[in-house]
Chain A
């Protein structure tokens, strides 16, 4: 099995879908000869030609709108946002156009909007955001964020094959930092399904994206203290895997909700509500959130470091919970 980085896994997933299905094509800024700002589409222009790898003007609204139009004609556009922060410039086309077509009048809108998100690279307030909740709050969209290379490939393929608009968050910190062996044969990771990354007994950490690795780091440390963490990787945020979340909560009875996104209105709050509704009797302690604070992502290294959740913060929360 070849070993691929998270980035190459996404690239290979798109590549294979383009080979498999001629209706798949790409739209984005600097994605052609340049291969994209992070090189996710490197070599695709040469392989698939200008009809299928389309360099656009800097016009996010037109890019998403055009993707919707093409999708209505039976195509499967995959849109790259140079940074997911700039998805804001295509917001109306996503939340009012793409998200509501099927519900209102029937047609499928099989588009994927993908790109780098997340902090940890000193990108400042406009190259670091975790803005997934803008879209998790929009019925009609699906929202995905892989944490591993295997999932990155399997999820991008599933997203491309899905009949609905999928917002696909890649974590730029993981792009070249993680790699793993990936099967050569075709596979998908289904949307809406979470995964247990590490089995544990005492506390479940429910998280997604780069924070999965933070949770695993904390779990390793805590093992030395005899605290056993389970780590649940949501993989899909909308729809999310209620069943697996609840099963893990019932098993461990103590819960940490962890994300890189800011606190208020974050995924943790949604999960806390679900758990309070459906697993209240199973809880042996308070639901603890470990998240970024409610601020923009600051630029300078000490500020960004303070902003980001860390393994230490997870460990602190776990020790607190262990006392219950």
Chain B
């Protein structure tokens, strides 16, 4: 059976991100923004996507600044707002669009939809809808990685609302007790569906939950990809060194409704406006221009390339067939003959 690819050696990514990494981060930020825009504002509105549509608009820096530091053999458990984790780990865009469109070429072959994408060979564990259920799973992956003794780690994401789930608490405690190489990244985007943080927890910052369980906790500006990068870099180094888990809360804001059908009238307009000024992509792009990491023409080229990649991927996805209805009953169990290893249709 397929499992996570193990590299021979695992090295930590360099201290401050080098120029190439900085450019890659901007690329993934923009790719995520634009691809999700295509999903939410185009494909969904055209009626081509059925079911819920969740995006990470406004909070892309959290996923990008963290997942970019993973290496082959690491494991990640994305939420419904971690699109970037998939593309950074190498899942082809076309496969992602196929999943949203329910097509046969999707990683789930149409059995599940939207952001529920996993790829075990890339170390991506697909989320389920019950939020936070993947945090204990990340602990189990980390147990296996701990035994392998190569310094590989598991990165697990969850929302601030999800921090109220028992599964998340149990996972943090277990990880601390077993000194597991897990990095817990909480995206605190100000809302859990319609519910504000003060109705989810009574602490000032979720960072205090780290020490409460026996691990370091930090709270950082989630709209600054460099700050996110630096905070998680420390946590990852700690995990790779066998010193155990960490918790990082990244403060951000959900710049959309909970999902595409939600007008989010409960979000105060001034709050949304204030956060709009802190857009993580605009901020980062300015820095890269100022520091002459990228030139204006290079940026324009990047934007063009991204649009082309999305156009091509969407075209391929739309040309992909649906899996035939009768395949619904195949591959329920794993056996000597694995259904997933056979071509479909």
Residues of chain A at the chain B interface (Cβ within 8 Å): 29-30, 33-34, 37, 55-59, 61-62, 82-83, 85-86, 88-89, 121-127, 293-296, 298-307
Please report the C-alpha to C-alpha distance between residue A56 and residue B165 in the assembled complex, in whole angstroms. 11
Min C-beta distance of A85 to chain B, whole Å: 7
Seed contacts A29-B193, A306-B329; 18 additional CB < 8 Å A-B pairs: A29-B192, A30-B193, A58-B192, A89-B130, A89-B165, A89-B166, A89-B167, A121-B51, A122-B102, A122-B113, A125-B111, A127-B52, A295-B332, A298-B111, A299-B102, A300-B113, A302-B110, A302-B322
Instruction: Please name the 5 residue pairs, one residue from A and one from B, whose CB atoms are nearest each other, closest first.
Output: A306-B325, A300-B102, A126-B129, A300-B110, A57-B164
CB within 8 Å of A: which of B295-345? 322-329, 332
Residue of A33, A126, A300 contacting most chain B CB atoms (<10 Å): A300
Contact across chains for B199 and A55 when beta carbons are under 8 A apart? yes
Please report the C-alpha to C-alpha distance between residue A88 and residue B332 in the assembled complex, in whole angstroms. 20
**Contact of B162 (CB < 8 Å), options: A55, A58, A298, A303:** A58
Q: Is the interface of B mostly helix, strand, loop or mixed?
A: loop
- Decide if B59 is an interface residue (CB 8 Å cutoff): no
Residues of chain B at the chain A interface (Cβ within 8 Å): 50-52, 102-103, 108, 110-114, 116, 128-133, 161-162, 164-167, 192-195, 199-201, 266, 322-329, 332
Contact across chains for B103 and A300 when beta carbons are under 8 A apart? yes
Subset of 17 A-B contacts with CB under 8 Å: A29-B192, A37-B193, A55-B195, A57-B201, A58-B192, A59-B165, A62-B166, A86-B130, A122-B102, A124-B129, A127-B52, A296-B111, A299-B112, A301-B50, A303-B110, A303-B323, A303-B328
Contact across chains for A34 and B193 when beta carbons are under 8 A apart? yes
Q: Which residues of B contact A294 (CB under 8 A)?
A: 329, 332
Q: Which residues of B contact A122 (CB under 8 A)?
A: 50-51, 102, 113
**Contact of A58 (CB < 8 Å), options: B50, B116, B165, B322:** B165
Contact across chains for A30 and B194 when beta carbons are under 8 A apart? yes
Please report the C-alpha to C-alpha distance between residue A168 and residue B325 in the assembled complex, in whole angstroms. 31
Q: Which residues of B contact A125 (CB under 8 A)?
A: 111-112, 128-129
Q: Which residues of B contact A126 (CB under 8 A)?
A: 128-130
Q: Which residues of B contact A293 (CB under 8 A)?
A: 328-329
Residue of A121, A124, A125 contacting most chain B CB atoms (<10 Å): A124
**Contact of A303 (CB < 8 Å), options: B52, B166, B195, B327:** B327
Query: In the complex, which residue of chain A has the Cβ closest to the Cβ of B196?
Result: A55
Min C-beta distance of B140 to chain A, whole Å: 18
Please report the C-alpha to C-alpha distance between residue A70 and residue B149 in the assembled complex, in whole angstroms. 49
Please report the C-alpha to C-alpha distance between residue A34 and residue B116 in the assembled complex, in whole angstroms. 26
Please report the C-alpha to C-alpha distance between residue A34 and residue B133 in the assembled complex, in whole angstroms. 25
Contact across chains for B193 and A302 when beta carbons are under 8 A apart? no
Contact across chains for A86 and B129 when beta carbons are under 8 A apart? yes
Query: In the complex, which residue of chain A has the Cβ closest to the Cβ of B113?
Result: A299
**Contact of B161 (CB < 8 Å), options: A57, A302, A303:** A57
Please report the C-alpha to C-alpha distance between residue A302 and residue B110 in the assembled complex, in whole angstroms. 9
Q: Which residues of B contact A58 (CB under 8 A)?
A: 131-132, 161-162, 164-165, 192, 195, 200
Contact across chains for A127 and B129 when beta carbons are under 8 A apart? yes
Query: In the complex, which residue of chain B has the Cβ closest to the Cβ of A54?
Result: B199
Q: Which residues of A contact B266 (CB under 8 A)?
A: 33-34
Min C-beta distance of A78 to chain B, whole Å: 19
Please report the C-alpha to C-alpha distance between residue A124 and residue B103 in the assembled complex, in whole angstroms. 13
Contact across chains for B161 and A305 when beta carbons are under 8 A apart? no
Please report the C-alpha to C-alpha distance between residue A296 and residue B327 in the assembled complex, in whole angstroms. 12
Contact across chains for A34 and B325 when beta carbons are under 8 A apart? no
Min C-beta distance of A64 to chain B, whole Å: 11
Query: In the complex, which residue of chain B has the Cβ closest to the Cβ of A125?
Result: B112
Contact across chains for B130 and A295 when beta carbons are under 8 A apart? no
Q: Which residues of B contact A304 (CB under 8 A)?
A: 328
Q: Which residues of A contact B110 (CB under 8 A)?
A: 298-300, 302-303
Q: Which residues of A contact B108 (CB under 8 A)?
A: 299
Please report the C-alpha to C-alpha distance between residue A82 and residue B194 in the assembled complex, in whole angstroms. 12
Contact across chains for B200 and A57 when beta carbons are under 8 A apart? yes
Please report the C-alpha to C-alpha distance between residue A96 and residue B304 in the assembled complex, in whole angstroms. 58
**Contact of B326 (CB < 8 Å), options: A30, A124, A296, A306:** A306
Contact across chains for A30 and B195 when beta carbons are under 8 A apart? yes
Please report the C-alpha to C-alpha distance between residue A125 and residue B51 in the assembled complex, in whole angstroms. 11
Q: Which residues of A contact B164 (CB under 8 A)?
A: 57-59
Contact across chains for A124 and B193 when beta carbons are under 8 A apart? no
Please report the C-alpha to C-alpha distance between residue A302 and residue B270 in the assembled complex, in whole angstroms. 44
Please report the C-alpha to C-alpha distance between residue A296 and residue B102 in the assembled complex, in whole angstroms. 15
Query: In the complex, which residue of chain B has the Cβ closest to the Cβ of A128?
Result: B51
Please report the C-alpha to C-alpha distance between residue A61 and residue B167 in the assembled complex, in whole angstroms. 10
Q: Which residues of B contact A298 (CB under 8 A)?
A: 110-112, 328
Known: A122-B51, A298-B110, A305-B325. A33 touches B194 (CB 8 A): yes
Query: In the complex, which residue of chain B has the Cβ closest to the Cβ of A122?
Result: B50
Residue of B102, B192, B326, B332 contacting most chain A CB atoms (<10 Å): B102
Known: A301-B50, A305-B325. A124 touches B162 (CB 8 A): no
Min C-beta distance of B166 to chain A, whole Å: 5
Query: In the complex, which residue of chain B has the Cβ closest to the Cβ of A36?
Result: B194
Please report the C-alpha to C-alpha distance between residue A58 and residue B168 in the assembled complex, in whole angstroms. 11
Q: Which residues of A contact B195 (CB under 8 A)?
A: 29-30, 34, 55, 57-58
Residue of A30, A88, A307 contacting most chain B CB atoms (<10 Å): A30
Q: Which residues of A contact B322 (CB under 8 A)?
A: 300-303
Min C-beta distance of A61 to chain B, whole Å: 5
Query: In the complex, which residue of chain A has the Cβ closest to the Cβ of B200?
Result: A57
Query: In the complex, which residue of chain B has the Cβ closest to the Cβ of A34?
Result: B194
Min C-beta distance of B196 to chain A, whole Å: 9
Contact across chains for B51 and A124 when beta carbons are under 8 A apart? yes
Min C-beta distance of A126 to chain B, whole Å: 3
Query: In the complex, which residue of chain B has the Cβ closest to the Cβ of A35?
Result: B194
Query: In the complex, which residue of chain A has the Cβ closest to the Cβ of B131?
Result: A58
Query: In the complex, which residue of chain A has the Cβ closest to the Cβ of B49?
Result: A122
Please report the C-alpha to C-alpha distance between residue A60 and residue B75 in the assembled complex, in whole angstroms. 27
